[in-house]
Amino acid sequence: MSKGRVLMAMSGGIDSTVAAMLLIDEGYELEGVTFRVWDNISQACMEKETGCCNVDAIFEAKAMADHFGFPHQILDIRKHFEETVIENFVSEYISGRTPNPCVVCNSDIKWGEIIKKADELNCEYIATGHYAQILYDNDRYFIKKGKDDTKDQSYFLWSLTQQNLKRTLFPLGELTKTEVREIALNKGFEKLSKKRESQEICFIPDNDYRRFLRERVPDFDKRFGPGNFLDTAGKVLGKHKGYPNYTIGQRKGLEIALGHPMYVAKIHPRTNTVVLGTRDELNSTTFYVENSNLMKIGKVEGEVEVVVKIRYRNKGGLARMTQEGDLLKVEYYNPMDAITPGQSAVFYQNDCLVGGGVIQSVE
């Protein structure tokens, strides 16, 4: 007897394919879906577990579904992807912020579209190849970090709602990447077990976001031309190539010689100025978070102590969090470097996701 119907998001890569294998072994009835979100995607994207696949990857996903005997559909959502993920990516850089497109894609594209399709197909659950776990306690669904610290993807999943989590399965949450490769190999998929991964943004496979902005924004170089580099006291240090070409914490590629390392500390779009500072001047303790979503708790009451990550590879730091109007105020006990507006701040307690949001401003 079937344990239920699952709509499996498939990219053609190893993670989503092994996730499908595990669900079949557990007795679920599967339907497969692959998103078509972007046409100009290279081999690098095909090998990344993002769900946004090129034509070859779509065929690989379909071939896998055929092999295991369950139906597979292609969901063409290029227009929606353009209007959400791409527009957000461009507008954030133009606003002097650094976007996190994977978070936008997860909430608006992956879970937004896949749940609609699941309802159409009468699927009770959806599943992906993410390395994360879902727990339920005190009437709340919340995410726990995946077993494999090197692959844990909980940071990108903070925006999922209670309804999203209630219907989601993460078959790989209690596995390491090595174990996933061993499963693929033992199932007879040697080529799949050795598939390489890429860390680039799926729609920018060469990892050159500056080139992407120039191609997407009319008269980019004229609209966002040279401006002043300033130090933290307001002294002009030299000229930059236009503020969207820089990100907080950047040291390389500044093309300015000052005799000692300097980093991008602040970006001011209105004046087209970029503030440079020393490593110590890059440190901050206090920032504000907008568009927050809470998981493990329903609301922030008083001070809540959490470990806060401000980047995917950031180890995080202990902080206290308070509610101030529509914003969350976060205060690290010890300074953190390169807190970047536009990036995600994600809050943890004992490896469980308390919630997250978008960094609005830094004090």
Alpha carbons 141 and 111: distance in angstroms, whole number: 15
Give a yes or no: residue 334 inside a domain: yes
Which domain, by its residues, includes 81? Answer: 5-193
Look at residue 197 in the predicted model and tell me its pLDDT: 72
Look at residue 38 in the predicted model and tell me its pLDDT: 78
Catalytic residue (choose from 52, 53, 102, 105): 105
Give a yes or no: residue 198 inside a domain: no
Give a yes or no: residue 252 inside a domain: yes
Q: Which of 231, 257, 278 is a domain's end point?
A: 278
Catalytic residue (choose from 53, 102, 123, 202): 202
Look at residue 52 in the predicted model and tell me its pLDDT: 45
Look at residue 41 in the predicted model and tell me its pLDDT: 46
User: What's the pTM?
Assistant: 0.91
The DSSP call for residue 214 is H
Look at residue 49 in the predicted model and tell me its pLDDT: 40
CATH code assigned at 343: 2.40.30.10
CATH code assigned at 9: 3.40.50.620
Look at residue 328 in the predicted model and tell me its pLDDT: 98
Closest CA to 243 of 259, 260, 230, 232: 230
Look at residue 57 in the predicted model and tell me its pLDDT: 79
Same domain, 238 and 356: no
Give a yes or no: residue 233 inside a domain: yes
Same domain, 19 and 167: yes
Look at residue 220 in the predicted model and tell me its pLDDT: 94
Same domain, 160 and 228: no
Same domain, 329 and 255: no
352 is catalytic: no
Other residues' Cβ atoms within 10 Å of the Cβ of residue 174: 13
Same domain, 121 and 261: no
Same domain, 124 and 242: no
Give a yes or no: residue 154 inside a domain: yes
Look at residue 162 in the predicted model and tell me its pLDDT: 97
Mean pLDDT by 10 residues, the chain (363 residues): 90 93 96 85 39 69 93 93 95 96 91 94 96 97 96 96 97 97 93 78 86 94 95 96 96 92 96 96 97 96 97 95 97 97 97 98 93
Look at residue 59 in the predicted model and tell me its pLDDT: 85
Count of structural domains within the chain: 3
Give a yes or no: residue 158 inside a domain: yes
Whether the Cβ atoms of residue 272 and residue 224 lie closer than 8 Å to each other = yes
Task: Read off the tokens for 201.
Answer: 């943004």
Give a yes or no: residue 207 inside a domain: no
105 is catalytic: yes
